Amino acid sequence: MRAANEAAILPEAAPDYDHACRRCPRLATFLDEVKREHPDYWCLPVPPFGPIGAPLLIVGLAPGMHGANATGRAFTGDYAGILLYETLHDFAFGSAPVAVSRDDGLTLSACRISNAVKCLPPGNKPLPVEVATCSRYLAVDVAALPPGAAMLALGRIAHEAALRVLGLPLRLHPFAHGARHAVSDGLTLFDSYHCSRYNTNTGRLTRAMFRDVFRDVARHLGRAAPER
């Protein structure tokens, strides 16, 4: 896929993931501290999950302390993964409705999950410079998208990270739950509130709201969607 600004997509040659990446000193130090407290946790950058070049790329924020940072797989063990994997399964993107561990046999079809930041940030709040530094990995996933693909940003930070990778101005594509943004080569960026514990427990994001976004994505991709 060619984006509006190809130089922004691929600022330099980079793999889609590097388990030894320590480019963000604050995050690397924090992971070392967490590993000492939880020696059985993954405590490394968490790789994308699902086939590269899939027509749907879901962009999350960052691994959770006792979820993906523990298991080593995106949204696996996270509270946010409960709604996400249930929905992926219902829409035929996932082989199972529950994600338990990275060796539980769950697979994704026509879908890939990547985070704006691959390492656990203190307080679940990455710094802008950390999002920018990690964009080299997200850029590889975005560059692999086929024409007519869909990106789904879970939350504002993921939305803005995706736009920056695409080289598009944030002011022309404001984040809003349920919004869709046509970008290039038929690529459309969809927005949803993050499926976090806070958002779902407070009702800011309901199951019905989340499924409505996935219906929009499914229609864009020409896929069948389940009934409400």
Measured from the Cβ of residue 89, the count of other Cβ atoms closer than 10 Å reads 18
- pLDDT reported for residue 228: 66
Residue 46 Cα to chain centre, angstroms: 11
Q: What is the pLDDT of residues 67-95, one digit of tens each?
A: 999 999 999 999 999 999 999 999 999 99
pLDDT over threshold 80, residue 5? no
The secondary element (H helix, E strand) that includes residue 190 is: strand 188-192
**pTM value?**
0.92
Query: Which is more confident, 160 or 226?
Result: 160
Fold classification of 40-221 (topology level): Uracil-DNA Glycosylase, subunit E (3.40.470)
pLDDT over threshold 60, residue 13? no
pLDDT > 90 in the chain, percent: 89
Residue pointed to by tokens 């594509």: 173
Tokens read off for 32:
């070392």
105: left (phi over 0), alpha (psi -120 to 50) or beta: left
Measured from the Cβ of residue 51, the count of other Cβ atoms closer than 10 Å reads 14
Domain ranges in the chain? 40-221
pLDDT over threshold 50, residue 64? yes
In terms of Cβ atoms closer than 10 Å to its own Cβ (0-12, 13-18, 19+), residue 32 is exposed
Q: What is the pLDDT of residues 132-171, one digit of tens each?
A: 999 999 999 999 999 999 999 999 999 999 999 999 999 9
pLDDT over threshold 60, residue 105? yes
Residue pointed to by tokens 């709201």: 209
Pairing of strands 180-182, 111-115: unpaired
- SS3 state at 23: coil
pLDDT over threshold 50, residue 2? no
- pLDDT reported for residue 8: 39
Which residues pair with residue 108 across a beta bridge? 94
